[in-house]
Chains A and B, each alone.
Chain A
Amino acid sequence: DVKVTQSSRYLVKRTGEKVFLECVQDMDHENMFWYRQDPGLGLRLIYFSYDVKMKEKGDIPEGYSVSREKKERFSLILESASTNQTSMYLCASSLFRLANTGELFFGEGSRLTVL
């Protein structure tokens, strides 16, 4: 089974702190994604990466950056956390282009609270 592991399930941070969310997948997938999930808004794409050291902005990249130094690892960085970034963050990976299969494999999420 594909496993996508998000290292932190629950985090509490202070406004202005730098936050790292880590994601590791074990199936050699080319593509990795970070989504934000908020009640009533569904999932919104923050950033994605289709190769090592490559990144593309999604729908809501402001206030976030990402890093993909190794194929299996994709990190989401909040340079200066703000209260409006309190949310559930979901990492996902896929082998193929999504238009063909649509299959994303998700981690269990990291719930971030910014005080």
Chain B
Amino acid sequence: AQSVTQLDSHVSVSEGTPVLLRCNYSSSYSPSLFWYVQHPNKGLQLLLKYTSAATLVKGINGFEAEFKKSETSFHLTKPSAHMSDAAEYFCVVSESGAGSYQLTFGKGTKLSVIP
């Protein structure tokens, strides 16, 4: 069975400072991992994905994430927060070859950006 844990339900940063959103996963197979973003009153949008290629993955809007198998982590980072980054972020896992139609979502981390 697969699962994902987002370690912080809420993160607050000042504009221009780094962002770190933490995610740990559990998977019986080789996982694919994703980050989605949801802006207020909007649907979710794919931010970036890891599917067993390069362990450092770059996404949209300057975000990136590093897959660390030894730590079972897939933390999301950005060097400098912008006001438009304020949103909820979801870490997601999918197991290759098992339940291929299903993704397991974390409970979300709400990012606040202080001017």
Q: Which residues of A contact B (CB under 8 A)?
A: 4, 31, 40-45, 48, 50, 56, 58, 90, 92, 97-104, 106-109
Contact = CB atoms under 8 A, between A and B. Distances in A.
Contact of B95 (A99, A101, A103): A99
Interface stretch (B11-19, B63-71, B73-81, B105-113): B105-113
Given A50-B101, A106-B44, A99 B49 contact: no
Contacts of B42: 108-109
Contacts of A41: 107
B107 A103 contact: no
Contacts, number: 69
A101 B49 contact: yes
B101 A108 contact: no
B45 interface: yes
A44 B92 CA distance: 12
Interface of B: 9, 32, 34, 36, 41-46, 49, 51, 90, 92, 94-98, 100-103, 105-108
A90 B49 CA distance: 21
B99 to A, nearest CB: 8
Contacts of B97: 99
Contacts of A97: 100-101
Given A41-B107, A42-B105, A42-B107, A100 B51 contact: yes
A68 to B, nearest CB: 14
B105 A102 contact: no
A109 B41 CA distance: 8
B38 to A, nearest CB: 8
17 contacts: A41-B107, A42-B105, A42-B106, A48-B101, A48-B102, A50-B101, A90-B44, A92-B43, A98-B103, A99-B94, A99-B98, A100-B51, A102-B46, A103-B46, A104-B44, A106-B44, A108-B41
